[in-house]
Structure 1
């Protein structure tokens, strides 16, 4: 049996984009992918508008707690997806990195967060399709 691919989603506060991405990855992979998220400067709570937007999709991220992205978490992940954390993320040779240029939903009303959420879903679906058809060795 092969090990599950490990994906780390990172944004600055780990309160919006990375939490939504992790929520989708958990829901859509049905446990086939180990999902982590973190932030370079974690906030004190998940963005309530992000929680509401994900609830519309039937995904509950309300129990999430913003976490500090650690060097170990990056090292132990097969794929690292960054969303606006800039040069703060440590780089390890041989890892797969992607930077998703997505608007920070902080302070935005739900009608402006929905398109961000939908783009995150689209990208997570593509990521999972690639990972689960070609898992890391």
Structure 2
């Protein structure tokens, strides 16, 4: 992996080794190396703490490989895939994805992405979700890629314009939801609740919602 310096090459070679084991029979090692390089290149410009970059690279590369394998029919999808997209993947899409994962009771697999991702998730979004008993501590903004769009069954966009690629056979929704960036916690809570209502409606429409009437109100 010549694109890494000597200090980090062993770390990233270990990531490739682990992913090669995980995806044996699905992807060749060379494809996994390319995925790791691409993941690191995508995340590095916005990385705030570079010591975390290898961990995030491994997670992002694995997500991209899984999405690609699903899109290509190499790995069967166990549940429908939802993708939430906004500009920065730091507020709306993270909120929506966390709510969908929580409210569906595991009946969907959820991803989120940003057309222009920033470095950190909005801390007030994390706080607002914690008030609903939803933890978002390990979330990080991720760039939008063709792989996750191709793997998704439903793509929900929020304020990202024409950045999301269009593929035949996919269902696209565009939600007009306020951006929580720079807003006080009271506004972020209202955005959270707006998204919770929208997500609940989508899950019910898809026949994927458990008993949501028991969901607590903060």
Superposition CA RMSD, Å: 1.1
User: Which deviations, in whole Å up to 9, do the C-alpha atoms of 1:95-125 show, x marking residues without a partner?
Assistant: 1000001111001000111111100000000
Moved beyond 4 Å, runs of 4+: none
Residues 1:52 and 2:127 are matched in the alignment: yes
Residue of structure 1 equivalent to 2:189:
114
Residue of structure 1 equivalent to 2:204:
129
Structure number with bigger Rg: 2
Q: Quote the Cα distance in structure 2 between the aligned partners of 1:126 and 1:48.
A: 26
Residue of structure 1 equivalent to 2:82:
7
Residue of structure 1 equivalent to 2:155:
80
Residue 22 of structure 1, CA deviation:
0.7
Residues 1:20 and 2:95 are matched in the alignment: yes
Consecutive unaligned residues of structure 2, counting only runs of 5 or more, are 1-76, 209-218
Residue of structure 2 equivalent to 1:71:
146
Residue 3 of structure 1, CA deviation:
3.4
TM-score, structure 1 as length reference: 0.92
Structure holding more helix per residue = 2
Residues 1:32 and 2:101 are matched in the alignment: no
| Secondary structure at the counterpart of residue 132 of structure 1 | coil
Q: Which has the higher contact order (CA 8 A, sep 6+)?
A: 1
TM-score, structure 2 as length reference: 0.59
Residue 55 of structure 1, CA deviation:
0.9
CA contact (8 A) 1:46 1:62 kept: no
Residue 50 of structure 1, CA deviation:
0.5
Residues 1:98 and 2:187 are matched in the alignment: no
CA contact (8 A) 1:5 1:131 kept: no
Residue 93 of structure 1, CA deviation:
1.4
